[in-house]
Amino acid sequence: MAAEKFSVALLYSGRWFGAGGHHLADNHIQWLIRHASAATSRLDIYVVVPEDAWCSRQNTQAMGTKAILAGEVASAWAAVSPQVRVHSHLFGLPNVTGIWQKGQKAAATNGMRGDASPYKLEKLVMWARQFQAVASTVHLMRRTRGDYDVVVRARIDVSFIEPVLLTPLRLQLEANPRLVFATHTVPPGVNKTTGFGLPEWREWTMVMAMPGAHALARMTAHDRPAQHDHSKRCYGFCMEEQTMLQLEVAGMTLKGLLWRLRLVRMHHNASAAGEDLDAKLERFSLLRRDAGAAHCYQHAQMFAAKMRTSGVLQDAGAQSVLREYLRTANWDPPLKQNYLGWNAGELPPYD
């Protein structure tokens, strides 16, 4: 007897690379979407791109519009079945005002005020930026076509190594809708006492039913407190740990997702023909700092600053440009000051 078909929503959010990321979409079509389509009654794709994370050349050269983004998204997924509907939304600039204070309050409540260091609070701000966009994909999904049996939170820069199947996960979610599948990186408990090391979970790809999707959408709500746990990496403020703590507080049960995944590092948008890294940075200098592809540019500058000491890039003013961006960024003043006080060679990775 054939298995009953089910509905699936694929949610993508964050940096968007336009034609420079078509190979990433092709990977998802080959290993995830085509296999899922065979088992589903309805499969839809939702793509939400923050204004400052639109990294395509088209948005670099002209002020992007919703119509331009919709065309880029449709082009990326052109090879999917006509039955698969693709929806896109251009998200405004993330608002991370107050996140710094949320982290301080969470640590102080547990009597660990010293855990709220600038570096760890910066991680919390990065988490809030990322998951505000994730929340927007859930809202887009619900107002467009309603609820689904299975929701997959995916990242375009996380590729699949082999075919993956959703039917076995669907059966478990049907029995327990409060399950959230995520990938393990180390066995649970390995790094619980150090505050450093690898995360226990990755939030790159998650599979859930609607209760899990609702929990994801609620994590960054204004009235939602930050979570602190002194026993975890970054004391709970790193992206992966904060996500999982928030899901657990919301009553979700985490379970290992046994998919083989690979993160494809794309520190900035695709190069033009014959363009070296210095020329790429010069092109990025034309971007607006407060909107447009500002987040893409900031990411490229952090990459440049991080690589300066290894001689990959010449010092072409990366530090001064980064400072200029941070002065206009929509970040809490303490975090902004913290970044402005660092030397370029000390900037952390921005992934």
- The 10s digit of each residue's pLDDT in 192-203 is 444 455 677 888
pLDDT (0 to 100) of residue 78: 92
For residue 281, tell me if it sits in a domain: yes
pLDDT over 90, % of the chain: 38
Of 245 and 281, which is predicted with more confidence?
245
Indicate if the pLDDT at residue 26 is higher than 80.
Answer: yes
Each residue's pLDDT tens digit, 159-172: 898 899 999 999 99
CA distances from 318 to 139, 197, 224, 304, 313 (A): 37, 29, 36, 7, 10
Confidence band of 74 (pLDDT split at 50, 70, 90): very high
Domain residues for 293? 277-346
Each residue's pLDDT tens digit, 285-297: 544 443 344 556 5
- Please tell me whether residues 63 and 202 are part of one structural domain: yes
- Please tell me whether residues 250 and 116 are part of one structural domain: yes
Coil, strand, or helix at residue 54? Answer: strand
- Please tell me whether residues 203 and 314 are part of one structural domain: no
Indicate if the pLDDT at residue 2 is higher than 70.
Answer: no
Indicate if the pLDDT at residue 311 is higher than 50.
Answer: no
For residue 268, tell me if it sits in a domain: no
pLDDT (0 to 100) of residue 122: 84
- Other Cβ atoms less than 10 A from the Cβ of 24: the count is 18
Number of separate domains in the chain: 2
What are the structure tokens assigned to 177, written together?
């809708």
- Please tell me whether residues 259 and 281 are part of one structural domain: no
Contact 322, 301 (CB under 8 A): yes
